[in-house]
Structure 1
Amino acid sequence: MDINPYDAIVVGSGATGGIAALTLAEQGIKVLVIEAGPKIKRLEASNYEPESTLKRLSGVLTKKHIKQSQHPGYWKNNPDLYSNESKHPYDFPKKKPFLWTQGNQYGGRSLTWGGITLRFSSGDFHPAKKDGFGPNWPISYDELSPHYDFIENFCGIYGRKDNIKELPNGKYIGEIPLTENENIFGRKIKSKLNYPFIQSRGFDRNSSVKEEKWPKSSSLGSTFKKALETGNVQIISNHLVESFEINKITELASKLTIVNLENGSKEVLNCDLILLCASTISTLRILLNSEYKSNTSGFKDNSGKLGKYLMDHISVCRFFSIPKTKNSEELSHNYPVLSGAGSFFIPFGTNLPTIDNINFHRGYGIWGAIDRLGIPKFLQKDQNTSIGFLIAHGEVLPRKSNSVSLSKKTDEWGIPIPHIEFEWSENELNMSKHMVKTIQKAIEAADGEIKNIDELINIPFGSLFTKNLIALSDSPPPPGYYIHEVGGAPMGINEENSVVDKFNRLWRCKNVLVLDGSCWPTSSWQSPTLTMMALSRRACLNIKKT
């Protein structure tokens, strides 16, 4: 293998891998990136119809994408950006389903990311101070704020400064206008219910849009692109990381084993610094496989928390229709794009409406949009209405029983596959009931009507696609559905109660950093990617000082 000399290995080229590679490269550190998937061209990532619909049909029928097809993003993105589940399998108990979405290609899941960028509030880093449940983060909002600033400035984030305590203001380059019906919706829920309502914050588009350049929501159009331009970064594609070994005398990682996915051959790379950015479950798989070898060449997790306390967001989705306005009729031939910034939020956090007694810990927010689904007029069943959706995302408490471990089964390259055990607790189920009532009241206040998606549009191949779709169920989708999984290697203040320290380093193997969502001790309710990126930059800047 032809590799130039390097100082650090970054595993993964997605959102956290991109910012990690950039931050190190700009300090003059030579970086080798290991990516499990291939390099793809910009136009190969775009969504093309009807080709993409035929590919989705094949993905469902062949079971290549049978689990990932449950996610709504699968239906607007190019299905080639979703991993083949037969080649990258995982396990879960039959009565505890988990939907794991994987993106193995240059840019990882940043190519299919919705692009919402909400900051954590100060209280989100210390939630146990309010309710006494679970851990607090070992860092504060003030420590992360400058890194939020950098990423927002670098990437070009749209939003509006609403001065809401639950969502600190960021650095924005402008606003994506709301549709007329979204403005009307917001005014009605504010005046009738006193619900908070804000313009969403994030990017203006993602990789599903046909353009020549990669969107800035992807690492290939922002952080990773800039990292490669420094000349300090090289990348190996189609190689999966199996595990790392440590030197028992120094307690530092010294070797990393990778597998060539094209021919199955294995190679051992020497390493002085490893940064794990493979996405939560993939990173946990590497850590568990490395720790498993602790009697010989692995590290030792003294906390007993590795693989435990996996979290996700519990979610409830409702589609609805409202009467068309004059302007929404004019938009019918040129729908505004649904994006991270092209949408809205009802950002409750823990300041929830007292519809019933609140018999659960923590809070949630509601994402929504109207007149942005891009549904062709001939597919819409009622031409006199506009279609919208509301999706509530709620914080999930860290529980030891929700976990990732290594299965006895292996993939085709002989590496143990992840075994995921996760179910909603009574706390989350009570929260979901509250979400349903809150959404119902909002839609009623806006003179709308809740309907199933198949009542609103004529879906091609409808019986094949909708028969088992979770999105059409009244119950909360299973964990993993909205791709917000975090936890499993939580950061903390000492090695007795955490896997990594406040700068994301393994306690007993300081030259291995865990930079993706697996390092989170709690989940909060906001979309996690912006905070993951900010944490990554903070940790990588600290490397310079050590």
Structure 2
Amino acid sequence: MSHSKTSNYPSIPSGKKFDAIVVGSGISGGWSAKELCEKGLNVLLLERGRMIEHVTDYHTATMDPWQFPHHNQAMPLDVLKNYPVQNRTGFTITEATHQQFVNDLDNPYVEEKPFDWIRGYHLGGRSLMWGRYSFRFSDLDFEANAKDGIATDWPIRYKDIAPWYDYVEKFAGIAGDRDGLSHLPDGQFQPAMPDNCVESHFRKSVNNQFPDRKVISARAAHLTAPTQEQMNLGRAKCQYRNLCMRGCPYGAYFSTQSATLPAARRTKRLTVRPHSIVNSISYDEKTGRATGVRVIDEQTHEWHEFNASLIFLNASALGSTYILMNSTSSRFPNGMDDSGQLGRNVMDHHFHVGARADYDHDLDKYYYGRHPAGLYIPRFRNLAGQEKQAFKRGYGFEVYTNRENWEHAYGEDGFGADFKEKATQFGTWKITLDAFGECMPYEDNRVYLTSESKDKWGQPVLKMDVHYRENETMMRRDAHDQAMQMLEKAGFSNIKGFDAQAHPGLSIHEMGTARMGTSPGNSVFNKFNQHHSVKNVFCTDGACMTSSPCQNPSLTYMALSARAADYAVKALKRGDIPR
């Protein structure tokens, strides 16, 4: 083992011991680091990618289109070739944002079946590029597996996590309304973003004509009325620029850089080491405890080992599972797991199904700014007291609206003053309803290690064997039909349904593979996100998910991270986890 030869992060001697090591600096990792630091622990935060400092490293955040070599409209082929997977989204790889996503050639994986693994390896991870929709789960979700006799039961219920939802919402800042829906519990909200005229019309129409559903303001992690605590961290009100994926220099949306990292740093107990690829967890056969992690330096390819009393895995669902699979020993010859569930039950929301339409009214109206959150239609299928559908679980709709600008004149014939006048007028209002549906936890939807390919650092890679099934297909048919029906009854024109069946992964909500459960026989982690067999290892990212409710999951990762950190520190102080 050797010291680092590079100078853009701290030189830490191999073997140095911390109170806690947090692996990964995204949404859950930032929360784990903040909570552990604030509770008095000295924490090493390991990030496999480069450093990105708040504000100063958001290099494209305030650039106008004409300031890019290709006006942010095209990518040079010599750059694009590095992103064959990341470019599958159709929107991430642009001149303004491509640097936020991984080089696929350096970070390959094997697809037994098509799987779109969209990743960002840098400080802050995908907290810099996430969609920011933040919804609570309810007991409808936590009880679903048990009631359906599917997979395994969640080891927690809503009452266990509700106080932690309160806690993280107040700190993060969530804009939304209190809507009184038992299956989508209300939270600690800042004022919701206002509707434009089309959103207002659609909301009123659906709420009046469909008693079984309710259109609400999307609950989004954007500051609309910053608290003193948030302003003390340097955060400010959302500016309605809707350029969020470039990094927000105002700190208006929740990210590691804007919120949890500054809070952790002010304790003076945080050490951040970027360019640190965690390969595996070190395990002591005699004590039955993890001793630390083995790390490959991304730049020098040197190996290091760092030690700690607590290990928090927050490397993303598949990243954390990769580390656990690589953590082999005499006790764990197949990876750090006794249940046989490690790598199984991969879930991701299926989406890109619904309808879009035009709105030919209110053409004398526009809106100020570009708000980054629209409307949401919470799940309205298979709720208590409702007729059961042919499929299990349900879906919710994200609702997007916009008005055509001068682009509507593309391809139009004409010339002269009249044509120029027409081309500079706003075009038609547009609306899109896009469903996000729950994927069931199928045991044979799995990932595993393979040496068919190696990454840039000589490591084996993950092989993906994941696909959607009949339940998801039936759900999509219903979502398509219901979207069409809502737009028809609301008086929209040129209504067109769509079903662009996406492969798993593209929703970027990958979950499962190291689930929470009630016993070592059915799960990897317990109700406190603690490894059943290795008591000083915790995991609070998407890997721990037992099912995949149709709501966006990131808020739940935040709450689980804060809750697990609280439990772990108390266990450490009691001596239940040895230092």
Give TM-score scaled by structure 2 length. 0.83
Amino acid at match of 1:308: R
Residue 347 (structure 2) aligns with: 311
Distance 1:60 1:172, change over 3 A: farther
2:365 maps to 1:321:
no
Question: Which residue of 82, 92, 96 corresponds with 2:111?
Answer: 92
Residue 47 (structure 2) aligns with: 35
Mapped contact 1:45–1:80 kept (Cα < 8 A): no
Question: Which residue of 286, 290, 312 corresponds with 2:327?
Answer: 290
Amino acid at match of 2:429: S
Instruction: Report the more deviating stretch, 242-251 or 189-198.
Output: 189-198
Residue 98 (structure 2) aligns with: 79
Residue 121 (structure 2) aligns with: 104
Q: Tell me how far apart the structure 1 counterparts of residues 195 and 139 of structure 2 sit (CA, whole Å).
A: 28
**1:433-512 to 2 correspondences below 5 Å:** 433-449=477-493, 474-512=499-537
Shift of 1:378: 3.1
Amino acid at match of 1:258: V
Distance 1:6 1:271, change over 3 A: closer
Shift of 1:529: 0.2
Amino acid at match of 1:46: A
Give the 3-state SS of the residue equivalent to 2:547 in structure 1. Answer: coil
Shift of 1:273: 1.4
Give the 3-state SS of the residue equivalent to 2:526 in structure 1. Answer: coil
Q: Tell me how far apart the structure 2 counterparts of residues 494 and 353 of structure 1 sit (CA, whole Å).
A: 29
Gap regions ≥5 residues in structure 1 = 453-471
Residue 212 (structure 1) aligns with: 249
Shift of 1:434: 1.0
Shift of 1:108: 0.3
2:378 maps to 1:363:
no
Distance 1:283 1:53, change over 3 A: farther
2:437 maps to 1:406:
no
Mapped contact 1:257–1:268 kept (Cα < 8 A): yes
**1:121-520 to 2 correspondences below 5 Å:** 121-194=138-211, 195-204=213-222, 207-208=244-245, 212-291=249-328, 293-294=329-330, 300-318=336-354, 320-326=356-362, 329-331=365-367, 334-337=368-371, 339=372, 342-351=373-382, 358-371=389-402, 376-379=405-408, 383-408=426-451, 409-449=453-493, 474-520=499-545
Mapped contact 1:17–1:277 kept (Cα < 8 A): yes
Q: Tell me how far apart the structure 2 counterparts of residues 92 and 512 of structure 1 sit (CA, whole Å).
A: 29
Q: Tell me how far apart the structure 1 counterparts of residues 326 and 46 of structure 2 sit (CA, whole Å).
A: 17
Q: Tell me how far apart the structure 1 counterparts of residues 195 and 30 of structure 2 sit (CA, whole Å).
A: 31
Residue 46 (structure 1) aligns with: 61
Residues 337-387 of structure 1, C-alpha deviations (whole Å, 9 max, x = no match) = 2x2xx2111112544799998221111111112127xx6433566954212
Q: Tell me how far apart the structure 2 counterparts of residues 70 and 266 of structure 1 sit (CA, whole Å).
A: 33
Mapped contact 1:59–1:66 kept (Cα < 8 A): no
Distance 1:353 1:296, change over 3 A: closer
Q: Tell me how far apart the structure 2 counterparts of residues 191 and 299 of structure 1 sit (CA, whole Å).
A: 54
Mapped contact 2:480–2:499 kept (Cα < 8 A): no
Q: Tell me how far apart the structure 2 counterparts of residues 450 and 356 of structure 1 sit (CA, whole Å).
A: 31
Residue 18 (structure 2) aligns with: 6
Instruction: Report the more deviating stretch, 301-310 or 254-263.
Output: 254-263
Shift of 1:500: 0.9
Amino acid at match of 1:44: H
- Rg larger for: 2
Q: Tell me how far apart the structure 2 counterparts of residues 55 and 385 of structure 1 sit (CA, whole Å).
A: 22
Distance 1:515 1:352, change over 3 A: closer
Shift of 1:130: 3.5
Q: Tell me how far apart the structure 2 counterparts of residues 512 and 475 of structure 1 sit (CA, whole Å).
A: 40
Instruction: Report the more deviating stretch, 37-46 or 216-225.
Output: 37-46
Mapped contact 1:247–1:297 kept (Cα < 8 A): no
Shift of 1:309: 0.6
Question: Which residue of 552, 565, 568 corresponds with 1:540?
Answer: 565
Distance 1:326 1:427, change over 3 A: closer
Q: Tell me how far apart the structure 2 counterparts of residues 327 and 436 of structure 1 sit (CA, whole Å).
A: 28
Shift of 1:69: 2.0
Distance 1:10 1:308, change over 3 A: same
Shift of 1:406: 0.5
Mapped contact 1:120–1:168 kept (Cα < 8 A): yes
Residues 392-445 of structure 1, C-alpha deviations (whole Å, 9 max, x = no match) = 111111111111101212212111111111001111111111111111112212
Distance 1:218 1:25, change over 3 A: same
Shift of 1:187: 1.3
Mapped contact 1:324–1:384 kept (Cα < 8 A): no
Residues 497-520 of structure 1, C-alpha deviations (whole Å, 9 max, x = no match) = 111111111112111111101011
Give the 3-state SS of the residue equivalent to 1:315 in structure 2. Answer: coil
